[in-house]
Structure 1
Amino acid sequence: MFNPLEYNGIPLERQTRDWRELDVSPIDAESVDPYVTSRIIAVNSVENEAIQFDYQIARNHADSDVRREMDYLGFLSEQQHRVANRLLPEAGSLLETALEYEHAAVDLDSWLARAEPDPQRREVYECDALEDFDHLYRYTDVAEMAGRRGAERVVDELTDVLPERPGAGQAPAEAERGRESTTAPMSDLNALTMLSVEQLMRSFYRSADPNYADPLTRPAYREIGRSEEEQVARHQALVDPAASWWEQLVIHQYNECYLYYAFLQQESDPRVRAVWELYLDMELTRLRVARDLLRRFGGREVEEIVGSGLPEPLGFERNRDFLRQLLASRLDPETLGSGGIREVPEIREVRARMASAPATDGASDVIDVLTDQHNRIEVLFGELEIAADERRQGVWDELVRLLSEHEAVEDEVVHPLARDTIVGGFDVVRDLVEEERKIKQMLLRLIDAGTGWERFDDEVTQLRDAVLAHTRNEEQYEFPQLRDSVPTEQLRELAVAVRPAVAA
């Protein structure tokens, strides 16, 4: 049992580092255990989340002393984030960075799934592990074809993890289940850890232009980037939106203490291990600061939120066995790399359940519904680009259906509302309707020709460009003004009204 409140840490005034202490050399990724890189990326993620959260409180709290204290905590997190960043060797390409991130995501998905006490949340992490393994498999395939450095090593690891195909009549192996004795607070910590990792990966996919990637990489890169958006949304739904600033601060600090403690037990690289030990000593003190702020402003004790301690952490070394069993029980090896991973029944069930969960702000509105459709439409265009022949017609049919549903909701609900309520509504809607008219003509031409048409791919590319330009215009010129002009409750009522049509 680990209770970080039982230990004293380094006093806050002694935690500032000078530039020499922050100037660390990167690890040698070719010689260290791959789990070292995964742990560094996890730390990079949680410190990035800590920076944003600490500064958010510093910007918004009325008490000037609290603002100064939170600003200092954010500064300390920046120092730790800088070191974690520098421990990672500089990648030579977008593909190499993507490989590192997806490799780390698979490790962390597996690790959290093994430790998660809640069965439904565990299914989410297992679903993530399968999806991220598929992403890693596809990137590795591209890296091997392109002759990228390090590809052979990752190929060997994937080959070792992939299970043998079950023989006729043979039941697949059962995936390992996490220890049921773990305490409920572990769920909050796990959710924050994975959300932090997915947010970092989303930032990578958003900031790196795929047009600068190797041409072989671009289709997979675009589709996987869209998948990361969905994964972030899934994990946001696992974080309690009703928790106060101070309850969230306690969870953030407790989680960092637990991660550094866990990684300290497992770390094989002596230099990196010394970093985890130092940062654990720092976070122990910051947890006490969070405890005092919770008492002062929330009138609660830390134990009410996270209990009196957490179980000893699981090691990364059994991730491979867990993943092998999970793949054997859930996945046909032929599905890997084909774009069909999302059709695995367990993944479809988890995605459907999370999609129907309440939004993290308590309720979604019609703008949320339409924006989600925009994201799904973009994902389907990506799937259509890489779909195997046997899946292509199904993806195309789903895309046509979704475009038709989306247009109907806009024509019947959104555009009339925008025309009557927003500034310059008549001109905005006129331009959007003209774009939709051209898109409809392109779509009808493709429907008539069918997926076997020799110009189908070229015409779909033109359709995609027109649709994505149209969705950007809606999100820039129509949706924000609707949010400003129409009461929130009315937008939420419209969401309820249009959902049956969307789900039909």
Structure 2
Amino acid sequence: MNPIKEKSKSLENSFLPLKKMYPKSYNKKNTSPYTKTRVILMNGTEFESQWFMHQFARHCDEPEILTTLAVVRRQEQQQQKRISCLKPINESILETTIAYEQLAVDLTAVLARHEKDAANIKALNFALLEDFDHLYRYANLLKMDKGEDADILVGKFTEIMPGRPTIAEHRYPSDDVSPHMNAEKADLYSKLVAGTITAAEQQTMNYYMNIAQWYKNDLGRKLYAEIAMIEEAHVTQYESLKDPNLSWLEQWVMHEYCECWLYYSAMQDESVDFIKKIWEEHFKMEVAHLKTAAKLLKKFENKTFESVCGDGEFPKLLKLGGNKEYIRKVLEETIRLTADNTQQIRDFKDIRKIPDDHRYFDYQKFMSGDPEKNPSHIVIQKAIERLGRDYRYQDKEHPVKELRNRECDNTSISRTK
């Protein structure tokens, strides 16, 4: 499949009327968790597209590009509103949050499993264990506040147990900046990975930034605020993987190509008929957007679509699903890693082997202070007090010995020597 060769409507005929922007919502009780996660992913993809084009417009003085951006951007807005309303009214903040974290976990894992670039794999695996822990913390909040079992929401496709403890994830911001890829040499799949995971993590960050104040109690508000800071760190890591040397027009072409790839992937995998039709319609809209961006790239920079996207044939499509054994392997092998950017190139190091005067420890002391007062720790301690032990869903014993105790939250592993 090469989207640039597909037939599409003209850009002028790709607008959506208001009546199509408010679709039927999915049924939260009988809809696959991966339909829910796809909705979140495509919502985030459209949000990223929006803000990329707004930033492009603020750095451009060419009237033809500006007016075309305005048209495409409005259509992307319509797509985003339509996707956003697929979420039903009766799905709670926390239920949606569980879907966000399941997406973060299984999307990251499946991208890493098929990635070939070693630096990208390391970055994905590193953040994977942190989102995995977020799922566990929110699941315990859900159990306490709503009496709901998160394993039902994730369809038992994703285990729920501790990852790298959230308290250990507060790093000095500079250590989250990754070395960027070389777009001329990078595999097309690697470029799509960077674009996709950046959009997904950014969507999670934005959701938590905006939803924290609406939660019904102080502990929940504090937990959202804390985890939102980690999601910002993840966005920093992932966006820095992208090659900043691409021109704005080249980046625009890659954005549109990535959207085409994601919608086409969603079309192949979707089990809900009326949602599949939305993915199909949006794919056709994105083909029109891609062709438009490619024409402007040729006109203003004399560069071809192929110079950005190679032959244009889609690499392996994205298929969301469970990754239990892969995650267990990453947990066992990398749980104690932290990020270090104090040398010439960023790397991930065992917390027990970094110098005692590393800035990680000072930042930890400043941010977390007394671990007993840390929201992500308190939520587990309160769950243990109320339930007798923490809430988990796991198929077998935790692969990390230090994280097997269900009556005590470990705040030392990955954080202290």
- 1:85 Cα offset (Å): 0.4
Q: 1:316 pairs with 305, 313, 320, which one?
A: 320
Given the superposition, is the C-alpha separation of residues 383 and 391 from structure 1 closer, same or farther in structure 2, using an over 3 Å criterion? same
**Conserved 8 A contact 1:161-1:324:** no
Closer, same or farther in 2 for the Cα pair 1:111/1:243, shift >3 Å? same
> Equivalents in 2 of 1:76, 1:216: separation in Å?
39
Which of 302, 305, 308 is equivalent to 1:305? 308
Name the counterpart of 2:57: 58
**Structure 2: how far apart are the matches of 1:392 and 1:160?**
22
1:64-100 Cα shifts (integer Å, max 9, x gaps): 2221111111101000000010011236544233222
Amino acid at match of 2:327: L
Percent identity, aligned pairs only, is: 28
Contact 2:139 2:150 in 1 (8 A): yes
Distance 2:63 2:363 in 1: 41
Deviations 1:163-211 (A, max 9, x none): 9xxxxxxxxxxxxxxxxxxx80111111111111111111122223358
Structure 2 counterpart of 1:352, which letter? D
CA separation of 1:283 and 1:156: change in aligned 2, threshold 3 A: closer
CA distance in 2, matches of 1:374, 1:11: 56
| Corresponding residue for residue 38 of structure 1 | 37
Unmatched segments (≥5 aa) in structure 1? 164-182, 333-340, 359-370, 399-504
CA distance in 1, matches of 2:300, 2:343: 34
- Alpha carbons of 1:45 and 1:393: their partners in 2 closer, same or farther (altered >3 Å)? closer
In the TM superposition, what is the alpha-carbon distance from 1:250 to its structure 2 partner?
Answer: 0.7
Greater helix content:
1
Distance 1:107 1:302 in 2: 31
Query: Which residue, out of 287, 290, 297, partners 1:287?
Result: 290
The 8 Å contact of residues 99 and 136 in structure 1, kept in 2 or not, is answered as yes
Paired residue for 1:328?
328
Offset of residue 7 of structure 1: 1.0
Deviation larger for 385-394 or 323-332:
385-394
CA RMSD of aligned residues (A): 3.2
SS of 1:238 mapped into structure 2? coil
1:150-169 matches, cutoff 5 A: 151=150, 153-154=152-153, 157=156
1:298 is displaced (CA, Å) by 2.0
SS in 2 for 1:25: coil
Aligned to 2:392: none
Aligned positions of 1:351-430 closer than 5 A: 351-352=339-340, 379-381=367-369, 385-386=373-374, 387=377, 391=411
Q: 1:383 to 1:303 in 2, by over 3 A?
A: farther
Partners in 1 of 2:249 and 2:97 — Cα distance? 35
Query: Counterpart of 2:274?
Result: 271
Q: Tell me, in whole angstroms, the C-alpha distance in 2 between the residues paired with 1:325 and 1:203.
A: 30
Which structure is higher in RCO with an 8 Å CA cutoff and minimum separation 6?
Answer: 2
**Counterpart for residue 134 of structure 2:** 135
Question: Secondary structure of 2:253's partner?
Answer: helix
**Conserved 8 A contact 2:4-2:291:** yes
Hey, what's the Cα distance between the residues in 1 that align with 2:192 and 2:370?
33
Using the alignment, how far apart are the partners of 2:284 and 2:300 within structure 1? 25
List per-residue Cα deviations over 1:381-419 (Å, max 9, x = no partner): 485534568646996x89xxxxxxxxxxxxxxxxxxxxx
Does structure 1 retain, via aligned residues, the 8 Å contact 2:98–2:150?
no
Aligned to 1:208, the other structure's residue is in SS state helix
- Which protein is bigger by CA-based radius of gyration? 1
Deviation at 1:289, TM superposition (A): 0.8
Aligned to 1:12: 11
* CA–CA distance in structure 1, aligned partners of residues 291 and 362 of structure 2: 44
For 1:292 and 1:60, the matched residues in 2 are separated by 19
Q: Distance in 1 between matches of 2:227 and 2:343?
A: 18
Q: 1:263 deviation in Å?
A: 0.7
- With normalisation by structure 2, the TM-score equals 0.75
**Match of 1:344?**
335
Q: 5+ residue gaps in structure 2?
A: 163-185, 347-358, 378-407
Give the Cα separation in 1 of the matches to 2:158 and 2:59.
Answer: 50
- Tell me the SS of whatever aligns to 1:157: coil
State the Cα distance separating 1:293 from its structure 2 match: 1.1
Aligned to 1:291, the other structure's residue is in SS state helix
Q: Bigger CA drift: 263-272 or 103-112? A: 103-112
Indicate the residue corresponding to 2:252 in structure 1: 249
What per-residue deviation string (whole Å, max 9, x for no partner) do you get for residues 222-249 of structure 1?
A: 3322211211111121111111101100
- Alignment-derived partner of residue 202 in structure 2: 199
Q: CA deviation at 1:52?
A: 1.1
Structure 1 pair 292/137, CA: closer, same or farther in 2 (3 Å)?
same
Please tell me the residue identity of whatever aligns with 2:373: E
Distance in 2 between residues matched to 1:44 and 1:355, nearest whole Å: 37
Distance 1:28 1:378 in 2: 44
Structure 1 contact 264–277 (Cα < 8 Å) conserved: yes
Q: Distance in 2 between matches of 1:354 and 1:44?
A: 36
Rounded to whole Å, the distance in 2 between the matches of 1:15 and 1:373 is: 53
Conserved in 1, the CA contact under 8 Å of 2:112 and 2:124? yes
- Indicate if the aligned counterparts of 1:102 and 1:135 stay in contact, CA closer than 8 A: yes
> Is the 1:95–1:139 contact (alpha carbons within 8 Å) kept by the matching residues of 2?
yes
2:370, 2:344 → 1: CA distance? 23
**What SS class does the counterpart of residue 263 from structure 2 fall into?**
helix
Deviations 1:255-277 (A, max 9, x none): 00111111111111101100010
1:14-43 superposed Cα distances (whole Å, 9 cap, x missing partner): 111111111212111221111001111111
